[in-house]
């Protein structure tokens, strides 16, 4: 695993810890997405992150289920980045 993807995975794991109930502060999700974006140059990951930033719902809070869906997409994109078949 490259150092870049390892760093991305570490930030991704920390991002999962934001889920503690039904709602998450929107600003915490924005911060997590920007942290993730700063740890990678992989276009597939950047695309998912940028799309999430553009479509981020809510004014002050976001449903945990939305955040979990984004994290699932990022996990899949990271796996595909590691194993491009």
pLDDT lower than 70: segments of the chain: 1-2, 4-5, 85
pLDDT at 71: 96
pLDDT at 68: 96
pLDDT at 5: 65
Name the domain count of the chain. Answer: 1
pTM: 0.89
Among the listed residues 39, 67, 34, the one whose alpha carbon sits nearest the alpha carbon of residue 49 = 34
Provide the domain limits for residue 73.
3-82
d(CA 63, CA 18): 11
pLDDT at 1: 52
């Amino acid at each position: 695993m490259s150092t870049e993807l390892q760093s991305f995975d570490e930030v991704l794991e920390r991002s999962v810890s934001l889920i503690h109930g039904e709602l998450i502060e929107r600003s915490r999700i924005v911060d997590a997405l920007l942290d993730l974006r700063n740890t990678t140059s992989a276009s597939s990951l950047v695309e998912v992150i940028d799309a999430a930033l553009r479509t981020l719902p809510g004014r002050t809070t976001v449903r945990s289920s939305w955040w979990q869906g984004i994290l699932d997409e990022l996990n899949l994109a990271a796996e595909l980045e590691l194993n491009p078949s």
